């Protein structure tokens, strides 16, 4: 069996746009899968071609609503029952990742629950990108290929040729990620120290470091309501920054996020296409990670090293 005949790529409903790009990079057709929906909201999936003895790659980000996760679980179950040789879930955006620990009494750990659901459904491997917390990899008992959006974001930043560059983290929790970018680009690091009144609501924020006369790039893993990013940008401009940009792996952009970004001091907001973005915002730039994911799939099929393709 040739390399191209040994595996098939299928997609869930909401990630088809990305799966098509991945297949284009791989030079293979997207597999034929049908999702049948009933009037009460229930749905079923079926493969319209034989997958017996094949490695099956299932592309589906699990962003809200929960139908995306349920659709992926059904795809995994159907592939297992159709005698697929290996089932590899390709989840560019791993939903529920912010629930990675008990941060107060009597709460769920959603990331672990999702990991258990995927395991019970029958995955043999997971390919994902920029998890909210690296330790989520330990929730799985199967190999996890953890990719980084830096593979497309860093070349973009280098192409801007910004002078007096400073990398910033919007909170202390993201300092490790931002510091990695700063080291690679050979520039200083600035931190934002924030306190929250409640989820998605910032109480106060202070800048730790000097941004005066600098071009600042804020690095984060996701932007949800854009409250943190836009507030940080406004404070940095008030502190004398020449310009402020933001780069994030996942474009959640819920609620008032679009208006906040548009009205903020941000020069531009750079995302990957791990999540579909259908809104209109003149400041949003999307970079595709299809090439990175396609190369990872190729290397998994050929049992080649994946770590060698990481920039950082």
How does 98-133 read in b/e, with b if 16+ C-beta sit within 10 Å? Answer: ebbeeeeeeeebebbebbebbbebbbbbbbbbbbbb
Burial tier of 198 (Cβ tally within 10 Å: 0-12, 13-18, 19+) = exposed
Q: Taking the C-alpha atoms of 44, 50, 56 and 60 in order, what is their torsion angle to the nearest 10 degrees?
A: -30
The answer to whether residues 47 and 10 touch, using CB atoms and an 8 Å cutoff, is yes
Whether residue 197 is predicted with pLDDT greater than 70 in this model: the reply is no
CA–CA separation, 92 and 299 (whole Å):
17
What the block records as the tokens of 225 is: 């309501």
What the block records as the tokens of 132 is: 């909210």
Whether residue 89 is predicted with pLDDT greater than 90 in this model: the reply is yes
pLDDT tens profile 93-126: 999 999 999 989 999 999 999 999 999 999 999 9
Q: What is the pLDDT of residue 212?
A: 96
The answer to whether residues 286 and 271 touch, using CB atoms and an 8 Å cutoff, is yes
What the block records as the tokens of 55 is: 């490695």
Q: Which fold has domain 150-287?
A: Rossmann fold (3.40.50)
What crossing angle do the helices spanning 290-301 and 16-26 adopt, rounded to 10°?
60
CA–CA separation, 31 and 50 (whole Å):
10
Q: What is the pLDDT of residue 209?
A: 92
Please, what is the average pLDDT of the chain?
A: 93
Q: Taking the C-alpha atoms of 208, 209, 215 and 218 in order, what is their torsion angle to the nearest 10 degrees?
A: -30
Confidence of residue 2 (pLDDT cuts 50, 70, 90): low
Instruction: Tell me how many degrees the CA angle 300-250-98 measures, rounded to the nearest 5.
Output: 95
Whether residue 280 is predicted with pLDDT greater than 90 in this model: the reply is no
Fold: same for 7-147 and 150-287: yes
Peptide bond into 65 cis (omega under 30): yes
For the beta carbon of residue 67, count every other beta carbon within 10 angstroms. 16
Instruction: Tell me how many degrees the CA angle 76-82-87 measures, rounded to the nearest 5.
Output: 40
Residue with tokens 């002078």: 163
Q: What percent of the chain has pLDDT over 90?
A: 86
Cα dist. 111→34, 140, 298 in Å? Answer: 28, 10, 27
Q: What is the pLDDT of residue 202?
A: 60
Q: What percent of the chain has pLDDT over 70?
A: 96
Mean pLDDT over 206-228 rounds to 94
Q: Which residue out of 4, 102, 176, 194 is catalytically annotated?
A: 194
Domain 7-147 has CATH 1.20.810.10: no
Residue with tokens 């860093």: 154
> Higher model confidence: residue 298 or residue 170?
298
- Domain ranges in the chain are 7-147, 150-287
Is residue 194 annotated as a catalytic residue, yes or no?
yes
Q: What is the pLDDT of residue 13?
A: 96
Whether residue 4 is predicted with pLDDT greater than 90 in this model: the reply is no
Report which of 225, 184, 188, 182 is spatially closest to residue 207, judged by C-alpha positions: 188
CA–CA separation, 73 and 91 (whole Å):
12
Q: What is the pLDDT of residue 307?
A: 87
Confidence of residue 206 (pLDDT cuts 50, 70, 90): confident
Q: Residue 312: which residues within 8 A CB-CB, separation 6 or more?
A: 148, 150, 154, 180, 181, 183, 184
The answer to whether residues 149 and 129 touch, using CB atoms and an 8 Å cutoff, is yes
Whether residue 196 is predicted with pLDDT greater than 70 in this model: the reply is no
Whether residue 200 is predicted with pLDDT greater than 60 in this model: the reply is no
Can you name the residues that pair with 54 across neighbouring β-strands?
none
> Higher model confidence: residue 94 or residue 207?
94
Confidence of residue 199 (pLDDT cuts 50, 70, 90): low
Whether residue 205 is predicted with pLDDT greater than 90 in this model: the reply is no
């Amino acid at each position: 069996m040739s390399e191209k005949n040994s595996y098939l790529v299928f997609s869930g409903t909401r990630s088809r746009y990305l799966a098509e790009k991945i297949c284009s990079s791989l030079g293979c057709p997207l597999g034929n899968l049908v999702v049948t929906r009933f009037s009460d909201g229930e749905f079923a999936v079926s493969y319209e071609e034989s997958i017996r003895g094949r490695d099956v790659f299932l592309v589906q980000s699990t962003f809200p609503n929960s139908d995306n996760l349920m659709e992926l679980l059904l795809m995994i179950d159907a592939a297992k029952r159709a005698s697929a040789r290996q089932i590899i879930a390709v989840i560019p955006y791993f939903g529920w990742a912010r629930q990675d620990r008990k941060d107060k009494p009597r709460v769920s750990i959603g990331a672990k629950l999702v990991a258990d659901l995927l395991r019970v459904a029958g995955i043999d491997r997971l390919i994902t990108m920029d998890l909210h917390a690296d330790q989520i990899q330990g929730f799985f008992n199967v190999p996890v290929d953890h990719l980084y959006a830096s593979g497309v974001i860093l070349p973009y930043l280098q192409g801007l040729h910004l002078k007096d560059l400073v990398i910033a983290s919007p909170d202390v929790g993201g300092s490790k990620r931002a510091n990695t970018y700063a080291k690679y680009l050979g520039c200083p690091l600035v931190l934002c120290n924030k306190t929250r009144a409640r989820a998605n609501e910032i109480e106060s924020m202070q800048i730790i470091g000097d941004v005066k006369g600098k071009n600042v790039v804020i690095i984060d893993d996701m932007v949800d309501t854009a409250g943190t990013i836009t507030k940080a940008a406004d404070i940095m401009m008030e502190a004398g920054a020449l310009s402020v940009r933001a780069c994030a792996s996942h474009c959640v952009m819920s609620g008032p996020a679009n208006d906040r970004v548009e009205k903020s001091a941000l020069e531009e907001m750079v995302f990957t296409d791990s999540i579909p973005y259908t809104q209109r915002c003149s400041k949003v730039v999307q970079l595709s990670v299809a090439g990175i994911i396609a190369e990872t799939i190729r290397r998994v099929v050929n049992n080649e090293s994946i770590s060698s393709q990481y920039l950082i």
